[in-house]
Amino acid sequence: MSQPSSTQSSKNSGGTSQKVVVLADAETATGYRLAGAQVVEATADNAQAKLEDLIQNGNVGLIAVDTGLIADPATSTARIMRGRDLPIILPIPSLRDAFSTDQVDAKAYMGKLVRDTIGFDIKL
């Protein structure tokens, strides 16, 4: 089976492959690294600057952004993304939200994420 060709942006030079990068805090980054993902660690103070650097990098096709760092990454990058097809900015729910003092039931929180994502509940 042949591999699909890499996606190219009109802003990128030909022949470069696109990477997937996760922008997360140090604690969450460890889990993504264990899963084999390329991770850029950030804090709430420097996350926006690191996200903009990744966008301007040119060889990143998808950036998954922890919403604990940037609540609405698509809106916060609208200006810099104007006229660009890539990278795709994918907000991912923060694990801290599941275990915050405001959220008493982590199981209910995870169930809501599944329901919001696929449209129905899964019960085992």
pLDDT at 2: 42
User: CATH no. for residue 43?
Assistant: 3.40.50.10580
Which stretch of 2-11, 42-51, 55-64 has the lowest confidence by average pLDDT? 2-11
Whether residue 101 sits in one domain with residue 63: no
**Domain membership flag for residue 10:** no
Q: Is 33 exposed, middle or buried (0-12, 13-18, 19+ CB in 10 A)?
A: middle
Q: What's the domain range around 107?
A: 94-124
Average pLDDT over residues 19-40: 92
Nearest-angstrom CA–CA distance, 93 and 5: 29
pTM for the complete prediction? 0.68
CA distances from 65 to 4, 13, 21, 87 (A): 25, 25, 9, 12
Over residues 44-65, mean pLDDT: 94
Residue 74 counted as domain residue? yes
